[in-house]
């Protein structure tokens, strides 16, 4: 190994060693160390014995400065459901994120979809992050498909009744700790 390669390897090793112990960097204007108030990230496919291809992806965050107001959450989530030639997809902009322990409820308004009448409608999704056996639920289980049924209010979904297909769940929930 040449000197430049050794230096790069050493620097990378030092970064990896310190990344888990140092935590987020705070600046002089941050005051006490800041962290994200809540988050839901990851992608998984749902299990269906008929072979449906159902995927959910999340990138939802609540900034530390907005801890008291989960409706200030930002990000997006997407979902799709296909079986043979039938199916649809949608993308929603997050309008609320509430988490507790390893459970997250996210809601959002659909901004893009090939499902007729879905754009502009709110939907909610619940995730239970239990490692390799994550579970998921969605508001349209009770309200009718997006665009054809009733809309839930912000921060509302159903219990996580669906099973994630083995080997696909990588949801991560950052628990919300509001100041009460």
Mean model confidence pLDDT for the chain:
83
What pTM value is reported for the model? 0.79
Rounded Cα distance between 21 and 54, Å, is: 38
**Highest-scoring range by mean pLDDT, 24-28, 126-130, 163-167:** 126-130
* Percentage with pLDDT > 90 across the chain: 66
pLDDT for 168: 86
pLDDT digits (tens, 9 = 90+) for 138-147: 999 999 888 8
Q: Is 43 exposed, middle or buried (0-12, 13-18, 19+ CB in 10 A)?
A: middle
pLDDT digits (tens, 9 = 90+) for 43-102: 999 988 898 999 999 999 999 999 999 999 999 999 999 999 999 999 999 999 999 999
pLDDT for 34: 52
Give the number of other Cβ atoms within 10 Å of residue 18's Cβ.
10
Residue 4 clears pLDDT 90, i.e. is over it: no
Q: Give the C-alpha distances (Å, rounded to integers) separating 45 from 56, 65, 75, 136.
A: 6, 33, 20, 10
Looking at per-residue pLDDT, the higher value among 149 and 40 belongs to 40
pLDDT for 29: 40
Contact between residue 125 and residue 143 where contact means Cβ atoms under 8 Å apart: no
Rounded Cα distance between 138 and 149, Å, is: 13
Could you tell me the pLDDT band of residue 132, with boundaries at 50, 70 and 90? confident
Residue 30 clears pLDDT 80, i.e. is over it: no
Give the number of other Cβ atoms within 10 Å of residue 157's Cβ.
24
pLDDT for 82: 96
**The pair of three-digit structure tokens given for residue 48, joined into one six-digit string:** 């269906």
Could you tell me the pLDDT band of residue 178, with boundaries at 50, 70 and 90? confident
Rounded Cα distance between 29 and 152, Å, is: 39
Residues in CB range of 20: below 8 A, 6 or more apart: none
């Amino acid at each position: 190994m040449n000197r430049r390669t050794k230096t790069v390897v050493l620097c990378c090793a030092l970064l990896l060693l310190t990344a888990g112990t140092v935590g987020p960097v705070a600046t002089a204007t941050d005051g006490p160390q800041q962290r994200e108030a809540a988050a839901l990230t990851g992608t998984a496919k749902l299990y269906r014995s008929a072979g449906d291809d159902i995927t959910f992806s999340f990138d939802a965050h609540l900034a530390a400065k907005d801890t008291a107001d989960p409706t200030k959450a930002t990000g997006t989530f997407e979902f799709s459901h296909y079986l043979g030639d039938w199916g649809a997809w949608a993308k929603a902009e997050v309008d609320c994120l509430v988490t507790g322990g390893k459970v997250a409820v996210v809601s959002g308004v659909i901004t893009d979809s090939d499902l007729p009448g879905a754009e502009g409608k709110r939907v909610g999704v619940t995730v239970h992050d239990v490692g390799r056996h994550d579970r998921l639920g969605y508001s349209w289980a009770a309200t009718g498909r997006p665009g054809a049924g009733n809309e839930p209010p912000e921060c509302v979904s159903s219990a996580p009744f669906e099973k994630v297909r083995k080997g696909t769940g990588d949801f991560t929930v950052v628990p919300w700790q509001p100041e009460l």
